[in-house]
């Protein structure tokens, strides 16, 4: 058979061609192309899809924004959750859905609306007006052309019109607003009695058998997660300044070069009279304003003591005229040159500035002073030391980066070379620092460096495979411009359940607290039942505190669960006061409701704000309802691949 194929090779090529070409015609070339190149789909939205590539791009952008906003506190393990990914996917689906609705219903935006929207963007305005030049600069800085930006904005505006009528028409009836306002300001007078768990602790008995039983049943709660003991080097300003010495000669030289920084320059307190000349004033009006200013200047020069009265009468600077023209010690830059030539109580001629024409008077003068070197010597030395440390820090950072890679299995050579102390801390887990009681001696949580060691980037480095399993040095981690750290795992402690002896005391305290809380609750519930079932009493029984008035508007120090219980109680009557009980942590509080009052009604402004906030909330709820209906109409489906992606580990989802 194979001999036949070799002999009739050209015939076999022709037969294969006949077999392959029809398959392309039946299936379609595009199907082959999409089979090879098509991105996985996460959702079907009508006639379109949301692809994995789109989600990944949006996901990376979202995480980058969070990283920029949170800085060193950014921890993907905490923020990149399944719930966050589902929310992002829902946003992409809704954007695609609304775009289809806008296209299907031919929503459009006029050129005038587009122009007005662009002109209202603050970043493209100059002095409150649209600037074509600034517009082009801003777009160029973002890598956009006016054509592409305007097309995208027109599309976004058209999409926004889908839900705009829903939001615009969202109004709650007046009766609903009245009811919510009434509930918000309603006042209730109550008295309370607290059954504190602490009062029952002395009556609680916990045996060794109780502790053993709890330990056996709750070992999972006691499990200590995998932890590491770490060695680390910190390079910061204190490390860079260590051993830096500043000579007296250096101090004296630096002081002479920077004397102006260690004293008070001379300064003048100034008053002025202003004749304003607005921008665009005609030459004739400008000449008239100058003549007016010159006439006032002659009066002021003739009677300097009457300058303040003249300013109150003639100055057109509303801010200073009432104070006799006083500008204080800070003189505007446009007037500083003119003021510098004046002595105390001297009046200037007419001085022109962008605001108009000024007549100036120096009302007080303080000569410049320089503090002696002996007084500022420590300050000068500290500044020199800081500058020297800054240069040294840069050199040390470069060396540290090289040294931690030169010998990957130890940080000691880097510590010796830089003269930095090698530190050790224990009890560092993937998700945080263990309490000192669990971590033992040298606990990171009890260290002055706890904040650095709990930094997400430091923990991620310690639990990376190379650092954790191979015990190699991490790279240099920059926590701040002047703080760097390098870490290494010294010891790994696997997750484990502590021995009973190590946790016996904590279990005992826990059981005592639980049983005391239970006893307090039972005592409170028994008292509550007796009050509800017993005869009405005109005054509160013994043990209740003084009456207090609370409302949702002014809860005072009342905790939220207790406030909700109070405001949810049915109104009391003279025949039968109302009673309710609520657990507050380990304690139990019994509430007696004495009376209910209408409270103080909202002002017109407060009521308008309430109506606006309720309208916004109602509009948001209606938008969600509309999107839900549109999803049904367009048969939106979240595909199986999306669920896998939502729950993927952090390093696989982005």
Tens of pLDDT, residues 279-293 = 778 889 999 999 999
99 pLDDT above the threshold of 60: yes
Per-residue pLDDT tens for 590-626? Answer: 999 998 898 888 888 888 898 888 888 888 888 888 8
Q: 524: closest CA among 562, 571, 570? A: 562
The stretch 207-216 carries a mean pLDDT of: 95
117 pLDDT above the threshold of 90: no
Q: Model confidence at 12, in pLDDT bands (50, 70, 90)?
A: very low
The stretch 642-649 carries a mean pLDDT of: 78
- Choice among 16-30, 248-262, 370-384, 460-474 with the minimum mean pLDDT: 16-30
Across 313-455, where does the E strand assignment appear? 326-328, 347-353, 356-366, 369-370, 423-429
Per-residue pLDDT tens for 318-360? Answer: 888 989 999 888 667 778 788 888 889 999 999 998 889 999 9
pLDDT of residue 380: 83
Separation between Cα atoms, residue 580 and residue 525, nearest integer Å: 9
Separation between Cα atoms, residue 453 and residue 463, nearest integer Å: 12
The stretch 238-264 carries a mean pLDDT of: 81
Computed over every residue of the chain, the mean pLDDT equals 85
* Share of residues in the chain with pLDDT > 70 (%): 91
Quick one: 458 exposed, middle or buried, by C-beta within 10 A (0-12, 13-18, 19+)? buried
HSE at residue 449, side-chain half, CA atoms within 13 A, is 26
236 pLDDT above the threshold of 80: yes
Q: What's this model's pTM, rounded to 2 decimal places?
A: 0.59
647 pLDDT above the threshold of 80: no
pLDDT of residue 72: 65
Q: Model confidence at 473, in pLDDT bands (50, 70, 90)?
A: very high
| HEC assignment per residue over 62-77 | HHHHHHHHHHHHCCHH
25 pLDDT above the threshold of 60: no
Across 376-480, where does the E strand assignment appear? 423-429, 477-480
Q: Model confidence at 126, in pLDDT bands (50, 70, 90)?
A: confident
Q: Which residue has the higher pLDDT, 593 or 40?
A: 593
* Share of residues in the chain with pLDDT > 90 (%): 38
The stretch 458-487 carries a mean pLDDT of: 91
Q: Model confidence at 271, in pLDDT bands (50, 70, 90)?
A: very high
pLDDT of residue 638: 87
17 pLDDT above the threshold of 50: no
Q: Model confidence at 575, in pLDDT bands (50, 70, 90)?
A: low
Q: Model confidence at 27, in pLDDT bands (50, 70, 90)?
A: very low
Per-residue pLDDT tens for 396-426? Answer: 889 999 999 988 999 999 999 998 999 999 9
- Residues 85-106 as b or e (16 or more Cβ within 10 Å = b): bbebbeebbbbbbbbbbbeeee
Instruction: Identify the three-state secondary structure at position 50.
Output: strand
Q: Which residue has the higher pLDDT, 117 or 35?
A: 117
């Amino acid at each position: 058979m194979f001999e036949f194929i070799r002999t009739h090779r050209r015939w076999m090529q022709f037969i294969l061609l006949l077999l392959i070409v029809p398959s392309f015609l039946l299936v379609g070339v595009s199907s082959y192309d999409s089979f090879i190149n098509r991105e996985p789909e996460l959702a079907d939205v009508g006639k379109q899809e949301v692809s994995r590539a789109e989600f990944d791009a949006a996901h990376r952008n979202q995480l980058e924004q969070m990283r920029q906003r949170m800085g060193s506190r950014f921890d993907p393990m905490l923020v990149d959750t399944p719930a966050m990914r589902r929310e992002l996917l829902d946003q992409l689906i809704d954007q695609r859905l609304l775009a289809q609705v806008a296209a299907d219903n031919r929503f459009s935006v006029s050129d005038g609306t587009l122009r007005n929207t662009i002109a209202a963007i603050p970043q493209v305005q100059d002095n409150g007006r649209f600037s074509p030049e600034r517009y082009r600069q801003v777009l160029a800085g973002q890598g956009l052309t006016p054509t592409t930006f305007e097309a995208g904005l027109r599309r976004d505006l058209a999409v926004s019109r889908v839900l705009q009528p829903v939001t615009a028409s969202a109004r709650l009836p007046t009766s609903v607003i009245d009811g919510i306002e009434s509930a918000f300001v309603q006042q209730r007078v109550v008295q309370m009695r607290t059954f504190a768990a602490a009062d029952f602790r002395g009556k609680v008995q916990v045996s060794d058998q109780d502790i053993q039983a709890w330990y056996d049943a709750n070992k999972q709660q006691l499990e200590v997660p995998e932890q590491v003991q770490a060695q680390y080097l910190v390079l910061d300003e204190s490390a860079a300044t260590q051993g830096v010495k500043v000579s007296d000669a250096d101090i004296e030289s630096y002081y002479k070069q920077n004397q102006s920084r260690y004293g008070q320059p001379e300064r003048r307190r100034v008053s002025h009279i202003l004749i304003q000349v607005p921008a665009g004033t005609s030459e004739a009006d400008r000449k008239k304003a100058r003549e007016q200013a010159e006439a006032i200047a002659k009066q002021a020069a003739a009677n300097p003591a009457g300058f303040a009265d003249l300013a109150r009468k003639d100055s057109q600077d509303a801010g200073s005229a009432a104070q006799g023209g006083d500008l204080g010690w800070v003189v505007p830059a446009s007037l500083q040159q003119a003021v510098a030539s004046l002595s105390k109580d001297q009046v200037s001629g007419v001085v022109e500035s962008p605001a108009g024409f000024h007549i100036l008077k120096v009302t007080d003068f303080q000569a410049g002073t320089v503090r002696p070197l002996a007084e500022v010597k420590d300050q000068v030395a500290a500044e020199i030391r800081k500058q020297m440390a800054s240069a040294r820090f840069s050199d040390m950072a470069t060396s540290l980066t090289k040294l931690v890679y030169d010998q990957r299995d130890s940080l000691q050579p880097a510590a010796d070379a830089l003269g930095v102390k090698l530190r050790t801390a224990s009890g560092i887990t993937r998700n945080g620092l263990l309490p000192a009681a669990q971590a033992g001696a040298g606990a990171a949580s009890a260290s002055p460096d706890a904040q650095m060691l709990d930094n997400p980037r430091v923990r991620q480095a310690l639990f990376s495979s190379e650092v954790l399993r191979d015990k190699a040095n991490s790279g240099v981690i920059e926590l701040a411009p002047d703080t760097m750290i390098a870490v290494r795992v010294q010891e790994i402690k696997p997750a484990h359940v502590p021995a009973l002896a190590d946790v016996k005391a904590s279990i005992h305290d826990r059981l005592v607290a639980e049983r005391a809380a239970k006893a307090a609750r039972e005592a409170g519930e028994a008292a509550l039942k007796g009050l509800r079932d017993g005869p009405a009493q005109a005054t509160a029984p013994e043990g209740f505190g003084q009456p207090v008035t609370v409302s949702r508007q002014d809860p005072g120090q009342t905790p939220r669960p207790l406030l909700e219980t109070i405001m949810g109680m049915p109104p009391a009557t003279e025949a039968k006061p109302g009673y309710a009980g609520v657990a507050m942590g380990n304690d139990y509080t019994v509430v007696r409701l004495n009376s209910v009052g209408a409270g103080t009604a909202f002002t017109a402004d407060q009521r308008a704000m309430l109506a606006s906030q309720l309208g916004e909330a109602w509009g948001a709820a209606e938008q969600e309802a509309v999107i839900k209906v549109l999803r049904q109409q367009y048969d939106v489906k979240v595909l199986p691949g999306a669920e896998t992606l939502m729950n993927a580990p952090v390093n696989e989802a982005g």
